[in-house]
Amino acid sequence: MKIPIRIALLGGLWLAQPAAAQAQQPGRFTISGYVRDGATGESLPGVAVVHPASGQGTTTNPFGFYSLTLPVSTDSVRLLVSSLGYERQRLARLAERSFTHDFRLKASSAELAGVEVVGTREEKLAESTRMGTINVPVAQIKLLPALFGETDVLKVLQLLPGVQAGGEGQSGLYVRGGSPDQNLLLLDGTPVYNASHLFGFFSVFNADAIKNVELIKGGFPARYGGRLSSVVDITMKEGNMQKFHGEGAIGIIASRLTLEGPIKKDTASFIFSARRTYIDILARPFILAQANGLSAGYYFYDLNGKLNWKVSARDRLYLSGYSGYDEFYADDENKRDNGQYNKQTSALGWGNRTAALRWNRVINDRLFMNTHLTYTRYQFSVGIESEDRFLNNGQLQTDKFALTYLSNIQDLSVKSDFDYLPNPNHYIRFGGQYIRHLFRPGALQTSGSVDPSQNQVLGRRIYADEASIYAEDDVKLTDRLKVNIGARFNNFLVDKKLYPSLEPRLAARYLLTEDWSLKASYARTSQFIHLLTNSGIGLPTDLWVPATARIKPQRAQQVSAGVARNLRFKNEDYELSFETYYKPMQNLIEFREGADFIGTSDDNYESKITSGNGLAYGGEVFVQKKSGRTTGWLGYTLAWSTRRFAELNQGQTFPYKYDRRHDLKLVIIHEFSPTLTLSGTAVYGSGNATTLSQGRYQLGPFDTYEDYGSRNSYRMAPYHRLDLDLSKTKKKRWGEVVNSFSVYNAYNRRNPYFIYLGRKEGSEDLSYRQVSLFPILPSFSKTFRF
């Protein structure tokens, strides 16, 4: 596929020289530079850089770069730089021409840092044009209760309004009526296609290696595309440029370790993080003792790494990567006489690999470039191997056979993003991306040592090309009205079928007062890849497939409106917001009745699915306390989500499985002292929809008919749970140790996991019975930092 000419033209800017890229505007000058953590050298995104005399200001971009253009004055220029969790820093300097200045912020005192590190964004909620965007600080994530003591980024996002979990203890995200495949999960700008470990009970993101987590569920800026429901943008730490640092934890089922430090102080740094479960190691002696010749187990691991090199004052390179894998295995060996035996090995595995190379360049004091080369791959496989050694005419003979079913998706991508700040009233972003997709929806591989005809691979590769360009401007029209306006243009080519898509984006805020604002947004989105699933619990057997001539891309439009309020009460900060949304979706896919992934390949998956539409709408209330000894938030969602497929439910509209009418979340973190913290989370949600038999009819001596009625017409019992965590920090000469005691499901609520039709012991009567997964679960973990 030919890359659009406009994308190629953007590459010409790479070679632009700083002096020629932007001429000095008459009577104005520009201050630009970076804002970094004074202790670690980490870049700080979203920091406010303000000129108090004029009221003009800006915020740093995701790489800590800022640019502020001001009129020339005979007086000294005074800037104020501020971010929660850091001491404010001021700059006073005479300025008649543009100059650069880097800020290094000092963390607030220990007493304040613990209670005020709730984010790096200083821009007030009421002032921002963005809607449906929440930044969740990693420091806060680590303080919340965790299942088995394993801190999980995605489970914390489930505690936000408009976001649901798929089921008990799972890390999947269902955002504003959407499905998990409609979430764009980015790790250092690279897509992660399956973010689940242990069949969805843990996510692949190690909080110790993460710097920033941002959730966007509405009002999508034009720079994001490819999904319908949300963007989860996760940024890894860059590595401490000042000194060596380490952090780790020992838990009930897993341990982790993170190391970071300078390769050359103030020039290059590294960070490396590893995590592994040891369920298989702990369980192995018990399995061997109880089952002769049988060995079975399960484990997962995560590896994160990143290199950061300051090539020059204007250039910086980043190289990052991730590898993670889950594996279930079972080995069974039966020995017989005379050296004969039979061995059989079964395995189920899935995992992700990503790599990213970034080049940041300050082209001039108002133009910043980030070029990004990425690779990502997700693959799962199910396999069985057998080896049989037997006597044949008195001679020992060996017969081997292997069968593997696998599916994967792989992307290679190049992307360039530009930030241009001509003056404080405009923040312009533009850029383009090209992606080369490779799909293998299903491939069957067999091999045998006796019959050569068994050695074959069935299943072809499907290639697709995706190219996009975008532009957006966050423009201040008046003192009260600010608008983010933009557009994104996509092209998707697969098997000679081209799907173009023009996606306008608009978000606006109008200040009623200094602390009250009205907000509204509109976004059109397209998704060119589909996830085929017949399960809601994140099984790795889900298949990624592209849009084709027969399967159209998914489309959605989302309209949002609401109000935002900043409030200061008794010297403590609060943020309040209310948002409503309306989101129609087209060309959603589902398996046909009776179809599933078994036997699905690139040759037949199109015949197994049907397309339809969806609709989601509702309202969300979010109240957040951002300072003081007690912090946290309260979120409530009232929502509806439906689906309609011509070939399902007799063409009638039915509730989506995760249509949850009421959803309430409460998060509280209280610091009794700088070393003792108590946190708790409470959730309540209406029951998930499901389909149950309404009657059974005998049609003959051997035939029965099940009447299931309307699809998803039954509601499970409501879901509610309370989790608690108590953490005590002990200072050591070499660092500190944090002992955490958590209780999951503190009052032992038996929440529904699924419902099945069965018989009670000693009875012939059939009845529906509920299966619950997790009772009250206490856990302990020990975290160390040095």
Global pTM?
0.87
Kindly report, residue by residue over 727-758, the tens digit of the pLDDT. Answer: 999 998 888 999 999 999 999 999 888 787 77
Kindly report, residue by residue over 414-455, the tens digit of the pLDDT. Answer: 999 999 999 989 999 999 999 999 998 876 767 766 565 555
Kindly report, residue by residue over 497-513, the tens digit of the pLDDT. Answer: 999 999 999 999 999 98
Residue 117 has pLDDT above 50, yes or no: no
Mean pLDDT of 120-137: 70
Kindly report, residue by residue over 373-419, the tens digit of the pLDDT. Answer: 999 999 888 888 888 887 777 777 888 888 888 888 999 999 999 99
pLDDT of the residue at 293:
62
Lowest pLDDT segment from 27-31, 331-335, 525-529: 331-335
Strands 28-37 and 99-100 turn out to be: parallel
Looking at per-residue confidence, does 259 or 709 come out higher?
259
- Assess contact for 174 and 223: CB atoms under 8 A: no
CA dist list (Å): 414 to 1, 13, 375, 503, 670: 14, 15, 9, 21, 45
Confidence of residue 275 (pLDDT cuts 50, 70, 90): very high
Determine which helix (DSSP H) or strand (DSSP E) holds 157, and give its type and residue range.
Answer: helix 153-157
What sign for the dihedral angle of Cα 232, 144, 740, 247? positive
Residue 197 has pLDDT above 70, yes or no: yes
Confidence of residue 540 (pLDDT cuts 50, 70, 90): low
AA letter at 237: K
Looking at per-residue confidence, does 464 or 771 come out higher?
464
AA letter at 19: A
Give the number of residues written for the chain: 786
What sign for the dihedral angle of Cα 291, 293, 298, 301? positive
Confidence of residue 112 (pLDDT cuts 50, 70, 90): very low
CA 484 to chain centre: 24
Mean pLDDT of 45-73: 87
Helix, strand, coil share of the chain (percent; to 5): 10, 60, 35
Q: How far apart are CA 103 and CA 274, in angstroms?
A: 32
pLDDT of the residue at 290:
55
CA dist list (Å): 756 to 265, 343, 591: 61, 36, 21
Confidence of residue 4 (pLDDT cuts 50, 70, 90): very low
Residue 95 has pLDDT above 50, yes or no: yes
- Assess contact for 465 and 493: CB atoms under 8 A: yes
Mean pLDDT of 259-288: 83
Q: How far apart are CA 68 and CA 155, in angstroms?
A: 38
Kindly report, residue by residue over 563-620, the tens digit of the pLDDT. Answer: 998 887 777 788 899 999 999 999 998 877 766 655 555 556 777 788 899 999 999 9
Kindly report, residue by residue over 214-242, the tens digit of the pLDDT. Answer: 999 988 999 999 999 999 999 999 999 99
Confidence of residue 111 (pLDDT cuts 50, 70, 90): very low
High-pLDDT (> 70) share of the chain, %: 86
Nearest C-alpha neighbor of 578 from the set 223, 233, 218 = 218
Query: DSSP state, 107?
Result: B
AA letter at 673: S
Residue 221 CB contacts under 8 Å (≥ 6 apart), including other chains: 130, 429, 472, 484, 486, 505, 507
Kindly report, residue by residue over 623-632, the tens digit of the pLDDT. Answer: 998 778 898 9
Residue 42 has pLDDT above 50, yes or no: yes
CA 583 to chain centre: 21
- In order, the DSSP letters of 60-93 are --TTSEEEEEEE--SSPEEEEEE-TTB--EEEEE
pLDDT of the residue at 538:
42
Looking at per-residue confidence, does 72 or 423 come out higher?
423
Residue 328 has pLDDT above 90, yes or no: no
Residue 21 has pLDDT above 50, yes or no: no
Kindly report, residue by residue over 688-734, the tens digit of the pLDDT. Answer: 888 887 777 666 666 766 667 788 888 888 999 999 999 999 998 88
pLDDT of the residue at 414:
96
Looking at per-residue confidence, does 139 or 322 come out higher?
322
pLDDT of the residue at 416:
96
